[in-house]
Amino acid sequence: VAERIKHEGLRSKIMTAEQAAEFVQNGMNVAVTGFTGAGYPKALPTAIAEKAKAEHAAGRPFSIGMVTGASTAPECDGVLAAANAIHFRNPFQSDPTLRNNINAGNIAYQDMHLSHVEQQMRQGFYGEFDLAIIEVSSINAEGKLIPAMGIGHANEALKAAKKVIIEVNSGQNIKLEGMHDAVFDIGVPPHRKPIAITAPFDRVGAPYLECDLDKIVAIVLTDAGDRNSKFADPDDNSKAIAAQIIDFFNHEVKAGRLPKNLLPLQSGVGNVANAVMAGLLDAPFDDLTGYTEVLQDGMLDLILAGKMKHASATALSFSPDALQRFNENIDFLRDKLILRPMEYTNSPEVIRRLGVIGMNAMIEADIYGNVNSTHIMGTKMMNGIGGSGDFTRNAFFSFFVSPSVAKDGAISCIVPMVSHHDHTEHDVMFIVTEQGMADLRGKSPRQRAQLIINNCAHPDYRDMLRDYYDRAEKAGGLHTPHLLMEALSWHQRFVETGDMRIK
C-alpha cells in the first residue's frame, strides 16, 4: 500500500468498497471514469449494486445518474444495470446488460460526441456532480493522482464533483507513472485557450491528475484487471478492407499527396478497425504516428514492430495477450505512448491541425454516403457514436469500414437510406467494404450512388439497389433521388421477415 499511496493522509482514508458505497445515495449524479474497458472502477460498482438491491428489497428507490468517459465493463456498467441502479447514462457504452436495459426503456441514455462531454459538464448541463469515482494506478507523496490505462473525463470529473472516491489499482503497472499528459486548464469561452498540440507526441500538461484532497472521502483498494476483451483474428473481409486502404495510401504517397510516413492515424473500436492496423504491419510505411482515442492491439504491435514512432490516446484497450506484451515492454514503450484527457484526443482543433486519418467502423451506409454508426434497424442502440463524429468531421481523410453484409447476408450494410443518421454525406469521404472502396470526395449525390452501389454493395444486393435508384430517378427530385415510402422498406422487411432480401 505504501508503494501505491505515498501520501500519508490519504492512506488513512482507505476503507472497504462496502463502506465507501455508503457515500452513494439514491438520486446522485455521479461521474465515473472509464474508457473502452480501461480506467474504470472495479470494486466499488459491485458494492453499489449490492446496496441498490438491498434498498429495492426494502421497498426503497435507489438509482444514480452516471456520466463516464466511454464504455466500462461488466463489473461496472454491467453489475449496476443488472441491479437497476442506473436511471441516466451517457456518453458511450457497450455492455450487453446495460444496452438491453437502454433498449427496454429502463435507462435514459444520451448518446453524444465525446469531445463535448467535459465542456458540457463544466457548463452545468447535468446539474451538480455529487460524486466522482475514479481509478488510478498510484498516488504520489503530494497527493497527485497517477491515472491507469485510461483517462477519459477524469480531469473534469475531479473538478466538478463535490466528493471523490478513488480506487487505487495495484494490478496496474506502477511504471505507468509519467506516461500521461493530464492536467491543463483550457478555460471557458470567451477565454478558452488553444490546445497547443502541433505534433502527436507534444506534451501540454502535467503527468498526473490533481484533486482538492479535502474532497476525497474514501480510497478503495483493488488489483482487478481491465476488461481486456479478445479481438477476433482478422478474417478475409477485414483483410480485404485493410488491403484497399493501404493501396490507397500507397497511391497517395506516390502521387506526393501524403507524406511517406502518412499522417497521424486514428482507429475506431472493434475488430475491423483493429484489423486495418494489423494490415499496416506488412505495409511499406515507416515512422507512422497515431493520434487516436482508443489504442487497441493493432497500434501497439505497430509500435513494438518499430513501424510506428509513437501514439497519443486517451485509453489503452488491449486483449490479454497484448496487455502482456505491453507490460513486458513498458520500458521501451514509455516514450512512445502518451495518454491524455478525451477533451484533447478528440478535440476538433487538434484533429484538424494534425491532419488525422480517421478510420471508423459503421453499422450501415446509404447509397449517398450517409452513415449510421449507432442504431440497429433505426430504433435499438448498439454502443453510441463515441468519438467517431469528432474524428470524421475534422479528419484529413475520413474512412468508414464495414463488411458489405451482416447476419449471414440477411442484412445489407449498404441501404437506400440509413435508418439512423450519425455522419452526414458532408463528412464521410470514403466507404470501404470487402467488395471495394468508394472515394466520395468531390462527388455529387448521384455520382456517389453509382460508386457506392457498384464498388461497395454485396452482389446479392446490387441489383436491388440499382432498381431502387433507377425508379427513384424516374420519380424526379434529381439532386438526391429517393422513393420516400420505400426508402426504409428494407429495414421494415428485415424486422418482419428476418431478411432484407425479397423472398
Interface with ligand 0RQ (CB under 6 A):
36, 70, 92, 114, 268-273, 293-294, 360-364, 373, 376, 382-383, 385-388, 403, 406-407, 411, 413
Q: Which of 490, 407, 1, 171 has its CA nearest to residue 482?
A: 490
The reply to whether omega before 91 is within 30° of 0 (cis) is yes
**Please, which residue, 49 or 356, has the CB nearer to ligand 0RQ?**
356
As measured in angstroms, the least distance from the Cβ of 232 to ligand 0RQ is 7
Active site residues: 293
As measured in angstroms, the least distance from the Cβ of 296 to ligand 0RQ is 9
**Please, which residue, 172 or 266, has the CB nearer to ligand 0RQ?**
266
Query: Alpha-carbon distance 174 to 247, whole Å?
Result: 41
**Please, which residue, 131 or 294, has the CB nearer to ligand 0RQ?**
294
Q: Which of 161, 166, 150 has its CA nearest to residue 316?
A: 150
Query: Alpha-carbon distance 57 to 64, whole Å?
Result: 17
As measured in angstroms, the least distance from the Cβ of 391 to ligand 0RQ is 7
Q: Which of 280, 282, 325, 323 has its CA nearest to residue 298?
A: 280
Dihedral angle sign, alpha carbons of residues 236, 237, 238, 244: positive
The answer to whether the beta carbons of residues 337 and 303 sit under 8 Å apart is: yes
Kindly report the number of other CB atoms within 10 A of residue 193's CB atom.
10
As measured in angstroms, the least distance from the Cβ of 242 to ligand 0RQ is 13
Question: φ, ψ for residue 142 (rounded to 5)?
Answer: -85, 0
Query: Alpha-carbon distance 272 to 277, whole Å?
Result: 9
**Please, which residue, 45 or 384, has the CB nearer to ligand 0RQ?**
384
As measured in angstroms, the least distance from the Cβ of 420 to ligand 0RQ is 11
SS3 assignment, position 376: strand
As measured in angstroms, the least distance from the Cβ of 240 to ligand 0RQ is 13
List the grid coordinates of 218. 474514501
Residue nearest to ligand 0RQ (CB): 386
Strand bridging mode 145-147 / 129-139: antiparallel
**Please, which residue, 208 or 400, has the CB nearer to ligand 0RQ?**
400
The answer to whether the beta carbons of residues 278 and 307 sit under 8 Å apart is: no
**Please, which residue, 216 or 411, has the CB nearer to ligand 0RQ?**
411
SS3 assignment, position 181: coil
Query: Alpha-carbon distance 37 to 30, whole Å?
Result: 18
Alpha helices in 22-66 (DSSP H): 44-57
**Please, which residue, 14 or 406, has the CB nearer to ligand 0RQ?**
406
Q: What one-character-per-residue DSSP string does 124-175 give?
A: TTT--EEEEEEEEEEE-TT--EEE-SB-BTHHHHHHHEEEEEEEEETTS-GG
As measured in angstroms, the least distance from the Cβ of 75 to ligand 0RQ is 18
